Structures are given as structure tokens and as C-alpha cells.
Amino acid sequence: MNAIKKRNLSELLSGIKDAPSTKITGICDDSRNIKKGDVFFAFQGDISHGMDYLEIVIEAGAAAIIYELPYANITENNFNIPIIGVDNLNKYKGEIANRWHNNISKKLKIIGITGTNGKTTVAALIQSCLHSLGHICGYIGTLGLGIYELEDSNLTTPSNFKLHQVLADFYRQGAKFVVMEVSSHSIAQNRIAGIPFDATMFTNLTQDHLDYHKNMRSYGETKSKLFTEIESKIKIINCIDDFGKKLSKEIQKDVIEITNITVPREYKGLFLNIEKSTANGLGYSVSIQSSWGHKEFNLPLIGAFNVENASQVIALLLSYNFNFHKIVSAIKSLTPPKGRMQLVSLTSNKRLPKVYIDFAHTPEALKLALIALRSHYDSNIWCVFGCGGDRDQGKRKLMGHIAEKYSDYVVITSDNPRGEDPKNIINDILEGVEEDVEIFEDRAKAIQYAIQTASDRDIILIAGKGHEGYQLINDSRITFVDNDHADRALKNRLNISND
């Protein structure tokens, strides 16, 4: 068991704020995780201030509290521990975290990926390929945190101090690379402060999170900051996406462009061009031309968007000077990340419809998932989906329209309704629907209905939750796994047909 390291508060805050030489054993910016001896850093959040939880952290045994000014409801000398206000404390949190961890993050090659769709797939594929190539790589993102086994994480990109702690843990476990999804929220809230990115990657920009960013312009500007305000040696931009094309022109320096158009011979920049991709069984035959040469290979993943995702992965590995042939060998053995166009295993039975689980929860992602299935199967397509509560309401109608346009049968249900009435969410979705559709507020019943009703040759997409193992209903987090419910319904159908 590692000994608890003790530090001096004065040294930790040197050059930032005068502080006493109080001994501390940890740093924390989340009142739920405070431990005895920690110094608690209270930042101003979107809704509340960390100081609103003052009694909790004092009772937990905090050794000191450093809080972001202004905060009016405190008299610093009323307590038996140092409580110190700092102007613009948010500005210093990355520096403080790096000091605490002895700048371990600078010893890692950290790869940050942002974009609306594809972050999780690109990140997971990078980790898988690096492991295949003999390099230990940590993962931080929607699927969780870890190197080989992932632990759950409430946020795509954790809070700043948690993030630095995870990086330090990865380094001690032998990792040389870390791939992390960088959400727009984390950029806006400075959760990535002090992270020395070696490479940054952009997948695409489509509508999402407008409840937070208010409009697409603000959303795009936030994503751009990962490239325009943060230094990185390698920048990989998907220029097949219109916003990506504009972003690449804005950055210009050190950009590797992913394209699907022939690159002129006189072009002096780095590029990877997808010359051709043809649906082939449960994957694609792909031909690419790049600054590193030409290759043809088979990609064992469903969906044209995965050709773009894999191309970005290849570009990154090439930029790290891995052997082109070995990269392609690693690509050929890929499997989809959990909940990303994931085929439910039981559907290999020819007497059952094929069922796919996907995280698609934006209009564009849902459209691409349905188009992907259409390109691989000459069968009827079912779409089972809902929309999250207390989130961007504007996308609900759009997703209803897309489900109706790109599938043959639509089953509308609940996703994570949170504090909203599921009926209201479903009604919002129905505004985009003209034909009759099936409606089941209960998601389990929706999945069961589609699987019991579809023909043996039909394809069913269960969209919106992907890897998630829960439903958020009011203040409750209820266990719910799409894959498990689909598997159970398939087994029931098989048993019924055998009777």
C-alpha cells in the first residue's frame, strides 16, 4: 500500500496566493469525494459554487479550503482551518494539479478527440490499435476510465483534478499513451486545464447540446478552442465535415487533413484521402492515399462513418511513425466499441432478426446509423429510439423525421427522461412524424415489441443509449441495458418458435 504523501499548502500555492504551511494529503474539487487531510478547491460552477458545500467538506475533514472569488457568504476566520479566497482561481487549477502530481502528465503522449459524433469510436479504436502494436494506452471517455478494464465515469471528460489523478495513475501502470474524449462542456468549463496534449483530433460538428451552448455558432467555437487556444504537436481534422474544413483553414499549421477528394500533387501539407470504400459483408473494402503512401485494406466495421473514424486513427498512428503495414494489420482485427453499431450476439441465428445497439442520440448520428444498415442489408429496417429529458429539445422533432425517413418501421419510446414527463418528450418527437408509428413509454416493452414483431430477415436498430447501463428517471438511476433486454427478447422469441 502506497504511503500517503504529505505536501505543504504554501508550496502548492506559491506564486498564486500566500498561504500557511498547512500539511495536506490530497487535492479535491468535488465535495462528494473529499477525504480527511485534503485541501478542497471550491470553484464557481454553472449553477452553484463549491463553497455551497462548505459544511460537507469541513465535516469530512478538509485540511484547508481555497475558493474562487467572489463569494459573499463566508467570513474566512470563522473556522479552524485555512479558508482562502483567490481571484480567478479557475485559471490556476491546471497548474495546481500539475504541481501536485509532479508534472507526470508531461511524461505521457496525450491524444484529445473532440466532435459531436465519433469521439468514443475513434478513441476506443486508437487504444485497441496501440495495444495491438505493443504499447500501453489509457482511455478516458464515455465508456469509462482505464487501460484494459474500464471503470464507470459520470462525465465524458472528468473534472480537472480527477483527470490529472487518472493520468498519474495511468503513468504508474506503465502507460505511455493516453487517449481521451474532450467534450464541449469540458472545454467551456476548463476541465482540461494543464493537460499537455501531444495530439488533438476533430471528428465532425452536428446539432447537439444546444440546451447548453444555445446555438451552433457557440457550440462550434467551443470545439475549436481545442485547436486554436491549446498547443499540440499533431492536429488531425476531418475535412470531409464542412466545419472541419473551415477549422483546418483557420489553423493551417501542423494539420493532417482527412479528405475524400483527390489531393493535388502540388499540395504541401499532410493528408489522408479516402479514395474508395465499398460495403463488403459486415465491413468495407477501403483504399486510401496519403502523405505516407497508398494502402488497400478491409475494415470490419459497419457504417461509412466508421471509414472516416478509422482513417483518422490510421493518420494518427502514421504521424507517430508506426509501420504502415502493421497499422493496417491492427485495423483488420478491430471490433466495434461497446454500444457502437454493436451486433447483439444471438442474432447470428438465421431464424432471428439482426439487432444492433448504437449510442446514436443526435439527428445526424441516427441518420448515419440507419443509412449504414441500409447499405449493408437489403431488408426492412426498424428503429427503436427516444430522446433524453432536460436536454436539447430542438433535436427531438428532427430525430422523429429522420427515423421515419430512413427506416421502414418506427418504435418511439423513452431514453433518459430525467425530470421531464416521457409523454411530453414523445410528443415532441411526434411533431416530426407524419405516418403512424408504434409508441411504448416503457423502453423494455418497445424493444420486446420490435423483436417479437419483426420478420427473420429484418434489421432492428436500438438507438440512443448504446453502452449505458441505466435509465435516468426523475432522481433515480435505474439499471437498464439495451443489449440485455434485446438478448432476452430474442431468446423468448426463439423459445416460442421452438414450442
Residues whose CB is less than 8 angstroms from the CB of residue 74 and which lie 6 or more positions away in sequence, other chains included: 51, 54, 67, 83, 85
Residue 474, domain CATH: 3.90.190.20
Check whether residue 59 and residue 130 sit in a common domain.
no
Within a domain: 364: yes
Burial class (CB in 10 A: 0-12, 13-18, 19+), 153: middle
Check whether residue 247 and residue 173 sit in a common domain.
yes
- Compute the distance between CA of residue 36 and CA of residue 388 in angstroms, rounded to an integer: 37
C-alpha Rg value of the chain to the nearest Å: 24
pLDDT of residue 400: 98
What end-to-end distance do the CA atoms of the chain give, in Å?
A: 57
pLDDT of residue 282: 83
- Compute the distance between CA of residue 343 and CA of residue 348 in angstroms, rounded to an integer: 9
Check whether residue 258 and residue 227 sit in a common domain.
yes
Within a domain: 337: no
Asked, as a colleague might, if the bond just before 417 is cis with ω within 30 of 0, I would say no
Which parts of 60-142 fold into alpha helices (H)? 93-100, 119-132
pLDDT of residue 80: 86
Residue 242, domain CATH: 3.40.1190.10
Taking the CA atoms of 97, 213, 218 and 116 in sequence, report the sign of the dihedral they define. positive
HSE, side-chain direction, 13 A CA sphere, residue 232: 29
CB 71 within 8 A of CB 77: no
Check whether residue 149 and residue 219 sit in a common domain.
yes
Check whether residue 406 and residue 387 sit in a common domain.
yes
Check whether residue 427 and residue 316 sit in a common domain.
no
Taking the CA atoms of 46, 50, 55 and 56 in sequence, report the sign of the dihedral they define. positive
The pTM score is 0.87
Boundary residue ending a domain (84, 100, 116): 100
Distance set, CA 422 to CA 216, 413, 427, 445 (Å): 26, 8, 9, 14
pLDDT of residue 76: 56
Check whether residue 91 and residue 116 sit in a common domain.
no
pLDDT of residue 7: 80
Taking the CA atoms of 213, 218, 220 and 221 in sequence, report the sign of the dihedral they define. negative
Residue 88, domain CATH: 3.40.1390.10
pLDDT of residue 77: 58
Residues whose CB is less than 8 angstroms from the CB of residue 229 and which lie 6 or more positions away in sequence, other chains included: none
Check whether residue 301 and residue 395 sit in a common domain.
no
Instruction: Output the nine-digit C-alpha cell for 300.
Output: 470490419
Which parts of 377-438 fold into alpha helices (H)? 394-406, 422-430
Within a domain: 1: no
Beta strands in 171-315 (DSSP E): 177-181, 197-202, 234-238, 255-259, 270-280, 283-290, 293-299
Give the pairing type, strands 64-69 and 83-87.
parallel
Q: In which domain, by residue range, is 76 found?
A: 7-100
- Compute the distance between CA of residue 422 and CA of residue 147 in angstroms, rounded to an integer: 37
pLDDT of residue 156: 84
Instruction: Output the nine-digit C-alpha cell for 235.
Output: 492536429
Boundary residue ending a domain (67, 100, 133): 100
Check whether residue 129 and residue 83 sit in a common domain.
no
Check whether residue 90 and residue 116 sit in a common domain.
no
- Compute the distance between CA of residue 204 and CA of residue 302 in angstroms, rounded to an integer: 18
Collapsing DSSP to helix, strand or coil, 466 comes out as coil
- Compute the distance between CA of residue 435 and CA of residue 409 in angstroms, rounded to an integer: 10
Within a domain: 179: yes
DSSP string, 163-174: HHHHHHHHHHTT
Instruction: Output the nine-digit C-alpha cell for 170.
Output: 495511468
Boundary residue ending a domain (298, 332, 366): 332
CB 460 within 8 A of CB 356: yes
Check whether residue 115 and residue 221 sit in a common domain.
yes
Q: Which long-range contacts (CB under 8 A, 24 or more apart) does 77-85 make?
A: 81/22, 82/9, 82/19, 82/20, 82/22, 84/13, 84/17, 84/19
For the chain of 499 residues, list the mean pLDDT of each consecutive stretch of 10: 66 95 94 94 90 92 94 71 94 95 96 93 97 97 94 86 95 97 91 96 81 76 92 96 94 90 78 94 92 95 94 98 96 92 82 94 93 93 96 93 98 96 97 96 98 96 95 95 96 77
Check whether residue 209 and residue 308 sit in a common domain.
yes
Distance set, CA 243 to CA 185, 237, 350 (Å): 18, 10, 42
Within a domain: 2: no
